[in-house]
A and B are shown apart, each in its own frame.
Chain A
Amino acid sequence: MLRKNKSQIQIGETIAVLFVFFILIIIGIVFYVKILKSNLESEQEELSQLRSVGIVQRVMFLPELQCSEGNVIKDNCIDILKLESAPSIMQGNELYYYDLLEFSDVNITQIYPAEAKWVLYSRKTKDFKNKFLTNVPVSLYDPITRKHGFGILTIETLSK
């Protein structure tokens, strides 16, 4: 009877050791997953920021908007005549521009000489995780009067 109890205790001990061992492993895994998740989240945020900057750059270099003189491109300059035509064309080909601009809102606001606003592209998603707003000062060139105005290119990017 005593012997039986001893062996039962031995098995009980082993089970207890295994139980503690698995508990420790589970704690370790939970801890590891939490660290991994936080790293992933910060990486995702960094990636979203990079994507947002990428979209800004792509908009700035769109031939649909850029100023040019004899095909010589002017940096940070948007042609007013192109800008007047671009919204209808870009909104009419939203799926085409999705490759370039993804889920974002692209607007240009003229501040000087007169106030005006053009909505170039708008494609939104409801289930986004990050939202970034980027404002870029741009020169708005009128090729007829050959005068430069001043405006702000606003890009709001949404990422899942």
Chain B
Amino acid sequence: MMDKKAFEIQFNWIFVLVAGAAILLFFTAVTVKQKNVAETSTKATVLKSIEAIISGTSVSTDTTNIIDIPDSDIDIECNKISISGTERVSKQYQSLILFAPSLIKGNKLITQTLDFSIPYRVTNLLYITSPQLRYVIIGNNNLASEINKSLPVKSKKEFYQSMPEIKNSNNYQVRFVVFQDDMISFPKSLEKMPDSDVTAIKINGDIEKGKIEFWQKNGDSWLSKGVSTYIGKQTLIGAVYTDTLDMYECSMRNVFSRINLVTKIQTERTQKLILRVMSNTGCNQFYNNGLSHLNNIFTASLSFSIQNVDTIVESSKLLSDQNKNAQAYSCPLIY
């Protein structure tokens, strides 16, 4: 009789244990699932914010904004934006014109848009960075001070006439922008930072065009990663924001395909002006000249290269002159 009672009590306890474990397991599963859903939803919110910024770029020109986002790591690749974590949330684009560091950390984003014209409007360029990223501008020419003025006030930027003594202020990335003939020596205080987190560009040119050499930390020295080119202040600022040569060239290729599309429309528009504006007005010579410059820009915009940048800059100036002539003679304008 006693054995039977003992068995009953034991059975009761085992039953309570199994039932309790089932309940606990159920709630744990629900909590874990909810946690994953919340994480994915936060990442989706961040991605949505970035998508909204990108789609709003075409509408707002010359603006700077600081946007609060949930604390996250945003990876920027060629035509792709991802939010890092256990489950990555990504968005792929066909042609994304975005100048940004390859990793944006923190709970704030600095966004800037600038109009890009050659001389007719092509697009707005979008720049994104983090307030935690440090920019050190070194140079004593007008271009250096112009770039310093163009970077957002809220960004962590420092401007020096010559190489100062650099202290490590615990930023996750440091970017040097050098407007000197010779590359600066590598700052000792940054030697312990990971190689990919300390980068630099050396600029050789003027406000219209020039060459950019990309550098990256290599132990206790600089390693050249290659040379590219810029067209106008807007793309030079793009090179300041973008920390790798590949990302910069990807965005520049997208800028060039945009130039190509807009130029095609401008070319066809000018051809219509030649056909439809009465020939006795004397406007046609400006349109014919303008058309040949537009054709040069169209051909040069087929691929991004140093030679093509030179062609576009020269043809843009000549096209601008023809537009001014058309205006002086009260002709319908080329752009």
Contacts and interface: CB of A to CB of B under 8 A. Distances in A.
Interface of A: 3, 7, 10-11, 14, 18, 21, 25, 54, 57-58, 60-64, 66, 68-71, 73, 79, 81-82, 84-86, 89, 93, 95-96, 98-100, 143-144, 146
A79 B265 CA distance: 11
Contact of A89 (B52, B257, B261): B261
B327 A70 contact: yes
Interface in B235-280: 257, 261-262, 264-265, 268-269, 272-273, 276-277
Nearest to A7: B8
A10 B5 CA distance: 14
B94 A81 contact: no
Contacts, number: 89
Contact of B262 (A7, A57, A64, A146): A64
Contacts of B16: 14
Contacts of A85: 264-265, 268-269, 272
Nearest to A64: B265
A18 B19 contact: yes
A14 B15 contact: yes
B290 to A, nearest CB: 13
| Interface majority SS (helix, strand, loop, mixed), chain B | helix
A21 B20 CA distance: 12
Given A71-B120, A146-B332, A63 B262 contact: yes
Contact of A10 (B12, B261, B265, B272): B12
15 contacts: A21-B23, A25-B26, A58-B55, A58-B59, A71-B120, A79-B269, A81-B269, A81-B272, A81-B273, A84-B268, A96-B94, A99-B95, A144-B273, A144-B276, A146-B332
A61 B262 CA distance: 13
Q: Which 7 A-B pairs have the closest CB atoms?
A: A85-B268, A143-B332, A81-B269, A63-B121, A99-B94, A57-B59, A81-B272
Nearest to B260: A93
B329 interface: no
Given A64-B261, A64-B262, A95-B94, A14 B120 contact: no
Contacts of A99: 93-96
